[in-house]
Structure formats: C-alpha cells, structure tokens
Structure 1
Amino acid sequence: MTARRTDPVEIMDVLAYHEGIFRKTSAPIIREVLLEVRLDGRRMAAIACTGEHAEDLAIGFLHSEGWIGRAGDIGRIEWLRNTGPDLTWPGEILSLEIRSVAGATGSEPAATGGTITSSGARSACRWPDGADLTPGIPTVTPNQVFHLVDGLVEACELHERTRGAHGAALADPDRILIVREDIGRHNALDMLSGHALRNGTDCSGKILVRTGRASVEIISKTIRMGIPVLLSLGAPTTEAVRTAERAGITLVGRIRKGSMTVYTHDERIGKTT
C-alpha cells in the first residue's frame, strides 16, 4: 500500500474580523493527521503531523530515539491499511511499518503506543551515547547567521500560507540545503534526520537552522544527527544551554535582524562580519 499524497492545507469557511467589521470568508488551514509508527510489528509512537514526508519523519523519529543507528539498519518500509478507528483520535490515521535488518536494532524495543501531540514533544528521551562533537568546524559569521535565518523564513511556504507550521533547515555556512515544515517543531527535525540518514548525508559539517525555542530535547536531536552548530530564532532553556555546552555544540538563539546571542562554544562564530 502506498501513502496518499495530498495537499497539507485545506480551505475552510471562517468568520474574519478586521477593523471593526465581520465578514464570512475562507482561510487555508494546516492539516493534522495521526502517523502510527511501527518497528518490526511493534507500535512505537503515534505522531500528530501533516502527513508530509512521513517516511523521513518515521525514520528520523526512530533514529532520534536510538532504535535505528544507520541507514543499513533499515530493511524495508511498508504502508499498512489502517485496521480501525483510534478512539482517542477523531481524524485521519496513517500507518507506517519499518522493518529492520535482523538484529540491527540491538535490544528489543518496548512498544510505547503513546500519542505525541502536534508540538512533537516526546514523553521520554533515549539519550545519545558519545555526545562529544569535534570543535572548530564549521565557522559561521554573524552575517551568515542572519542570511541563513532569513533563508529559512523565506522558504517556509507552509507557514506563510497557514501561520500554523514550524520550520527547520539543514545548511552549509553560505546556503540552505533542505527545508522541512510541520505542525510539530520536533517533527521538522526528525524529517531532516530521516532524510539525511536515508541519503547518506554527513552532518558533521552542517548547520541546523530552526524556528522556535531550543529545548533540551532539540539539543538531543542535534547531537544524534551529529550537527555541531544550532541556530534558533527563539531562546533556549537552561538545560538546553548546559547540554549544548557539554556536548560541544555551538548554540545561537534570539536571532533577529542585526542581533543574536551565542550561548555556547563561540569558537565557531567568526568575530568579523
């Protein structure tokens, strides 16, 4: 069974208010479906998402949780027919099965079956091992930081249409390479992770650019991807800063035109523009 590809935006009737006047109109609304992720027959998660790039999302999620370590662990990917309604979810449900190469996942995963909300926040974090990134590469200047952030914002078409999506991008110091958007900020990162894993992308010299704040779990996903520089429009949490410092990640936040804050490992930030 193949996944249905549809526009992640639906046009719905609304009542709009502007400058003292109500009027009936229509508006683009971002789609929300439930993606059921299964690994070797076990239900690992049910993720609220748009349904776009679902295979990358599922693989990226399993990678970030530590169940898949490399592309060679993936045997095949199968879309399953939904077996029936989920009483906790009123809308559309997609079901995706990842079959691993025999023995690739190591210890037997425990089926969680829990639903992940549209923020993409996880109920638990399987912490990456060996989280110590080599300092020094890449180096990025303030002007390059601002250019990359502007590039991400301009590329976030789904957010521009609906104002309901988070965005993330994989980048070199001088250009955006790939952008992903979703209703969940964690989902956008998992999509990038899955894409990189499936395409053999070496992230050790890349930069992660994203909207929103930086939590400790965002840092965990950055570590798992092996990315040394994280640029976030929002501010980080205290644990995010401490974890990034320990892991060797350059964390930059509160990025606005002409200003930014470097929280950790400023050796990767060029001191000239």
Structure 2
Amino acid sequence: MGCKGVQTILEASRDVQFTRFENGRWQTVDGTVVREDLVRLHVNGQELARLMCTPRELDHLALGFLRSEGFIQSMADVRLINVCPSQTCVEVWLRDASFEPPGRGIITSGCGGGITFADLTAKAKPLDSDLRVTPGQISRLLRSFLAGQQQRGIHTAALATGETLVVVTEDVGRHNTINRLWGHCLVAGIPTRDCILLSTGRISSEMLNKAARMEIPVVVSRTSPTSLAVALARAWHVTLVGYARRDSLNVYAGQERIAVAEAVDEASACDLGAGHRHLDREGCDQPRVVVARRGGEHDQSLARGPPLASRRRL
C-alpha cells in the first residue's frame, strides 16, 4: 500500500474564552473545547461518506470505517491512501477498481454524525470464546483507561488484553473511536480477537456490531447500552458490561464470562488481609455485580457481610 501527501498534525481542541458564573459573580475564563470538523471520505475518486470527527490520524479513522462497513477485509485491499494537508478529506484507492459507493447509509445514534451502510440487525455468527474476566480486572483496566484520558469532553475507547491497554483512541464521536481502534490494528497488524473493548460512551447497536465483527467477546462501558445493543449482545454471545465503576458494574449479556467465583475469593482475601474485619470498598478492587435479567435486575454482591452502604471501617 502506498501513501502520498503529508498529514498536518492538528490539535484535538481549540482555545476559547467563556464566562463562568461562580460564587455569585461572573468571571472571564480561558479554556479549551473539543475540536469537531467535517471530513469527506472518497473511495476510488467518489465520495462515500462525510464524517464529523476530531481531525487527527484520519488514515486510521478512514481505514477502520471501511473495514467496519465491510468495504475492505485487510490492508491488502488498499492500494493508496492520502490525507489532504488541511485534514478535511481522505482519499482511498482500492485495488478493486470496480468499487462503487452503495446507496444511502443509516444515520446512527452516535454523536458526531455517525453513518453506517451495514444492516445493524443482520444475523452474525455467535462468538465462541474461552475468555474470562473478573470484576477486579475490569476495575483495574478502567482505572488505567480513565487515568490516561488527555482531555475532557471527548470520547475514548481502548483495546485491552489481560491487564494491559494495547491501543487507546479518542474522538468527538464514540463510534469513531471504535473505527480508529480497528484502523490502527489493521495498520499495525494487531489481532482483535479475544480482546476486551472499553468505551466511555453509550454502547449502541452500531458499536456492538463493530465489536462482534472484530471478534471481541467482552465490551465494557462507563454508561448504559441501548436496548438493541443488549438484544444483539445476547444473540451474538457478547458479554456486555455497563455502568462500570470502581465498586460496581452491570452485566446485560454474557454473564458466564465474568469469573464470579474467582472474584469472591479475591474479595474474601481483601477481608482476610485486613484481619477479618469488614471493610468499606477502599483498598479492594472487587466491585459489586448487578446482572440484568429480562424481568429486572439481580444483585450478585461479591463480598461477604452486610450491604456496602452499611459497612464501616473498624
């Protein structure tokens, strides 16, 4: 694959001046806001999509978008990619010269003007994975994930294996962060199968679709998934975790991949290490797990003893 043109490195934010009301008075403040630009994606000389995004590493974004939509399968399908110096367009030339842009795409629920040409309800092959994770592992990954955020007001996604964050991406659009991950992995030759996906954004059907196609069996978010994302996760055997916090998480699908028995042992070890005293959750990485059922939620607390709210340090 060739590459022409020089990518100008643009900041992900812009300086702004605004007024803040605090302590009963107005004050002028200098700050920053996340940058959002419109970028045109051309394939074989024809416009395929317009993406609202953060204008940096657009080659990864474009390649990830093409892969997630099924227009390419690997870097071998790409002959040339060019990001214009102004960062307002990306030109991709495929080895398949007969490629024609499809019809109108689906505007997705992702902020930043998401669009997909895929059928979000189409059947996918259920994931067959032996991957198991513990609540403590998720908690530690999330802690590292959030500690590395460079800026507020922007979505972040990460690909992890074990206790390690392999790739971290940021964008104004949460769906764009997944495309960036996939594009980065394509270029770097990083396998995505049996990895863990973490996101600061709501998991929509589009994002779940991308994760399933990347063969990622565990998807973790800081917030709630959509109803269609939950349905797809259950159909495709994807473990879907929402509202992940230091001391709790909700499991909406695929509970069998959450190693609760191991987590109970670890949580008990926390108590034993403290001289058999009941502790609050500080110093223990084991969060409370809430499993979503069709008839409601089921509280599956991992630590022994009284509810967390009633615990006090002795």
Contact 2:51 2:114 in 1 (8 A): no
One of 136, 139, 152 as aligned partner of 2:130: 136
One of 82, 102, 107 as aligned partner of 1:110: 102
One of 112, 115, 119 as aligned partner of 2:112: 119
Please tell me whether residue 21 in structure 1 is matched to residue 15 in structure 2. Answer: no
Give the match for residue 60 of structure 2.
56
One of 248, 253, 259 as aligned partner of 2:248: 259
Contact 2:40 2:89 in 1 (8 A): yes
Note the C-alpha offset of 1:118.
4.5
Q: TM-score, with normalisation over the residues of structure 2?
A: 0.75
Give the match for residue 37 of structure 1.
41
Q: SS of 1:262's equivalent?
A: strand
Contact 2:159 2:165 in 1 (8 A): yes
Give the match for residue 173 of structure 1.
162
In the TM superposition, 1:70-219 aligns within 5 A as: 70-80=74-84, 94-102=88-96, 108-110=100-102, 118-122=111-115, 124-127=117-120, 130-137=124-131, 139-159=132-152, 164-219=153-208
- Residues 238-257 of structure 1: CA distance to partner in whole angstroms, max 9, x if unpaired? 21111011112111111122
- Residues 105-152 of structure 1: CA distance to partner in whole angstroms, max 9, x if unpaired? x86332659998853432553457743211322x11100111111111
Contact 2:83 2:90 in 1 (8 A): yes
- Identify which of structures 1 and 2 has the higher relative contact order when contacts are C-alpha pairs closer than 8 Å and 6+ apart: 1
Note the C-alpha offset of 1:173.
2.4
Q: SS of 2:9's equivalent?
A: coil
Percentage of matched positions with identical amino acids = 30
Relative to 1, partners in 2 of residues 1:225 and 1:121: Cα closer, same or farther, differing over 3 Å?
same
Contact 2:44 2:99 in 1 (8 A): no
Aligned residues: 256
Once residues 184 and 222 of structure 1 are traced to their aligned partners in structure 2, the CA distance between those partners, rounded to angstroms, is 16
Relative to 1, partners in 2 of residues 1:247 and 1:56: Cα closer, same or farther, differing over 3 Å?
same
Give the match for residue 293 of structure 2.
none
Note the C-alpha offset of 1:3.
2.2
Once residues 75 and 87 of structure 2 are traced to their aligned partners in structure 1, the CA distance between those partners, rounded to angstroms, is 26
Aligned residue type for 1:204: R
Comparing 197-206 with 122-131, greater Cα deviation is found at: 122-131
Give the match for residue 87 of structure 1.
none
Once residues 158 and 121 of structure 1 are traced to their aligned partners in structure 2, the CA distance between those partners, rounded to angstroms, is 21
Relative to 1, partners in 2 of residues 1:70 and 1:131: Cα closer, same or farther, differing over 3 Å?
farther
One of 179, 192, 211 as aligned partner of 1:222: 211
Q: SS of 2:194's equivalent?
A: coil
Aligned residue type for 2:94: S
Note the C-alpha offset of 1:220.
0.6
Aligned residue type for 2:133: V
Q: SS of 2:212's equivalent?
A: helix
Once residues 76 and 214 of structure 1 are traced to their aligned partners in structure 2, the CA distance between those partners, rounded to angstroms, is 32
Q: TM-score, with normalisation over the residues of structure 1?
A: 0.86
